[in-house]
Amino acid sequence: MFLRKISIFTILLVLLTFNLFAQSNPIQFQLEKLSGTIGTWNGTLTYLDYTTGKPYSMPANIKISYSAGKLGYISSFEYPDEPKANAIDTTYLKNKGTYFGDEKVVSFVFKQNGDFTLITEIEGVDGNDKKKAILRHSYLLIGNAYSISKEVKFKGATNWIKRNEYKFTKEKKVTVIEKSLFDKIALLDSLMFATYNNQNIAEMKSYFTNDLEWYQDNGGLLNFETVFKNFQSIFDNKNKLSRALVTGSLEVIPIKGYGAIEIGKHQFKHMENGKLEIGTFRFLMIWKNDNETWKISRVVSFDH
């Protein structure tokens, strides 16, 4: 019994020490980590109308830039249908990066590819009757998609209410030729992965060159035979595997005299032990154009 009491005391002491350490080491980040959002974005704003209790959507655009010396984060909001609501906000870091403006940074997750999730909170008021509440803002960048949402938890409540959400995408200006190539590769991508989702391995092979080189971060360099042997093994599992391209992630770059580079993110879903498993990964594929017969000659699959 004495040893048991010591053990419990030790656990409590460790938890207390950890809590004190967390409080003395608040989350910090730098404005430069938000560089992936710099530029002009187009999208919508959807907000909850407290009077009617119904959501309302309207067009909304945002242009993001840094102030001189990258000390401030400038957000210029534009509402095409309600220009009087246009506004410009400049946010500065405070308390050595633990505050984004007046809001405390409660979470910041940054990936090597530039994607990030930033969550901030502040005590304030909200609603038509100005009730006390905690206001939470979430900033999420995934590839070519950027969202900003506001949630509210009123004093005494346990649930969060989504007050509004901006959803943006950033369109890259391209020439007519580039647009045509983009559409071509996007179509080929959808056709090739339709054969994958239908587990038609014979037709799927027709989209790849015989000298295929497939580079996989967790599998090394694979050739044509090994790649399709692996695919057949996956299909034999009968686990309802499916692939979908992540919206807004596709990029296409022409290769002079050869074909094109396709870069993007895709999501795979399958059932395993009665549970839906979902994984999102990045990829790069090189398409070879042989007299308008397009086939994939090189693949780089990573971020597993």
Under a CB-based contact definition with an 8 Å cutoff, are residues 289 and 260 in contact?
Answer: yes
Tokens of 74: 């400038």
| Rounded-to-integer distance, Cα 76 and Cα 97, Å | 22
Under a CB-based contact definition with an 8 Å cutoff, are residues 110 and 33 in contact?
Answer: yes
What's the topology of domain 27-169?
A: Lipocalin (2.40.128)
User: Could you list the pLDDT tens digit for every one of the 304 residues in the chain?
Assistant: 444 444 555 545 544 544 444 444 567 678 999 999 999 999 999 998 878 888 889 999 999 999 988 899 999 999 999 999 999 999 999 998 899 999 999 999 998 888 999 999 999 999 888 899 999 999 999 988 999 999 999 999 999 999 999 999 986 655 566 788 999 999 999 999 999 999 999 999 999 999 999 999 888 999 999 999 999 998 888 777 899 998 888 999 999 999 999 999 999 988 777 788 888 889 999 999 999 999 999 999 987 6
Q: Which helix (H) or strand (E) holds 13?
A: helix 2-24
What's the topology of domain 176-302?
A: Nuclear Transport Factor 2; Chain: A, (3.10.450)
Task: Write the DSSP string, 189-239.
Answer: HHHHHHHHHTT-HHHHHTTEEEEEEEEETTTEEEEHHHHHHHHHHHHHT--
Name the segment(s) of the chain with CATH classification 3.10.450.50: 176-302
| Rounded-to-integer distance, Cα 105 and Cα 65, Å | 20
Name the segment(s) of the chain with CATH classification 2.40.128.20: 27-169
Under a CB-based contact definition with an 8 Å cutoff, are residues 101 and 91 in contact?
Answer: yes
